[in-house]
Structure 1
Amino acid sequence: MAESITIARPYASAVFAIAQEKGDMQTWSELLAVLAQCAESSEIQAILDNPAVSDQQAVDFLAGITGELNADARGFLLLLAENNRLMLLPEIAELYEQLRAEAEQKLFADVITARPLTDEQKSKIAAALKKRLGKEITLSESVDESLLGGAIIRAGDLVIDGSALGKLNRLASAIS
């Protein structure tokens, strides 16, 4: 996976530059999301990997699924097809979204708690992260009862482990 992310990075940067130049970041987000889903489908992978399918046919096939593609999107997909990189569309979409969030000063944060958060708690966490990181925060929440209490917050490269389980593990490490 790390290798595919490395290979996908220049393509994501290129498509992001096109989207930013044309002021069309949302449209590209939607298109890349659909294309990523297509590339993850085993049935579509079989068609795209088939040596009897030309690069142009592969692009036309994807265009048929996604709807009409503009010239930039067609050119981008043709470049991917010519370089045997269509299967990297999920990684390209993920990297594109990271670039877009960074450009828009947005950050996605995952909050894992032992029990569901109230709306007030979510607001306080988002406000604290915004103050600390200087970006708009979008929270996603999940529950993991094995944490016992507290929360684990992942926002970009930042990880804050304030869970009871994490504290117990740190205590056990300090004692031994």
Structure 2
Amino acid sequence: MLDKITFAKRYSKVIFELLDSNDQVEDGYNELLQIKQVFENNSDLGNSLTDVSFPEEYKNNLAKPLIENVDIDVIKNLLNVLLSTNNMDEINMIVDEFEQLYDEKNKIVRAVAITAVPLSDEQTAKLSDTFKARMNAKKVILNNKIDQSIIGGVVIKSSNVIFDGSVSTKINSIKKLLLN
């Protein structure tokens, strides 16, 4: 039996490849995000559609409106397969993995800028542009998180990169130099 992450990666990769071959990645991505939103707004839905003690007839009736509102056959088939194999609770993880593939293809970098005080829109835009150039990305989606313990400066974290320009890190570096 596959662990949940491997399961989600395999399904998302296959869905991505099928949508890409049909030139439907953009539309598929948007549909998957809408489906994920439904599951996030109804936190028990995935568990209910996966629960083996819940009668199949009820599961099918519960999932029917969701599946019927999907326009892309590949995604409709995905939902039907997940429903029939009692894996519907994995949909959000599959969408998350799909989103990583989508971002990679479109050179989108998602990052968090950790600062001691909130960034203004202008600061966020400048930081985003600088990070975009540094990462050779087409787009950077930058969220701001406040952490007063960094004192000042900024720490930028993305999936595989950390830039630490915080005052607290600089102070710690100076302390190490002085102690040695």
Equivalent residue letter for 1:14: V
The TM-score, its normalising length taken from structure 1, stands at 0.81
CA contact (8 A) 2:19 2:74 kept: no
Q: Flag structure 2 segments of 5+ consecutive residues without an equivalent.
A: none
Distance 2:113 2:67 in 1: 33
Distance 1:147 1:170 in 2: 13
Distance 1:120 1:146 in 2: 23
Distance 1:159 1:23 in 2: 34
Provide, for residues 112-141 of structure 1, a one-character-per-residue CA deviation record: whole Å limited to 9, x for no partner.
Answer: 111122334323322222222110222222
Equivalent residue letter for 2:89: M
The aligned residue for residue 49 of structure 1 is: 50
For the aligned residues, what is the CA RMSD?
2.6
Equivalent residue letter for 1:108: R
The aligned residue for residue 125 of structure 1 is: 127
Deviation of the 1:46 alpha carbon: 4.4
The TM-score, its normalising length taken from structure 2, stands at 0.79
The aligned residue for residue 142 of structure 2 is: 139
Alpha-carbon distance change, 42 to 138 in structure 1, aligned in 2, over 3 angstroms: closer
Distance 2:113 2:100 in 1: 18
CA contact (8 A) 1:59 1:78 kept: no
Q: 2:14 matched to 1:10?
A: no
Deviation of the 1:42 alpha carbon: 4.1
The aligned residue for residue 163 of structure 2 is: 160
The aligned residue for residue 111 of structure 1 is: 113
Identity %: 24
Equivalent residue letter for 1:117: L
The aligned residue for residue 102 of structure 1 is: 104
The aligned residue for residue 24 of structure 1 is: 24
CA contact (8 A) 1:39 1:86 kept: no
Q: Flag structure 1 segments of 5+ consecutive residues without an equivalent.
A: none
Distance 1:139 1:59 in 2: 39
How many residues get paired? Answer: 173
Equivalent residue letter for 1:153: I
Provide, for residues 73-92 of structure 1, a one-character-per-residue CA deviation record: whole Å limited to 9, x for no partner.
Answer: 22111222333321111111
Comparing 141-150 with 79-88, which one deviates more in the overlay? 79-88
Secondary structure (helix, strand or coil) at the match of 1:162 reads strand
Distance 1:59 1:159 in 2: 45
Alpha-carbon distance change, 131 to 43 in structure 1, aligned in 2, over 3 angstroms: closer
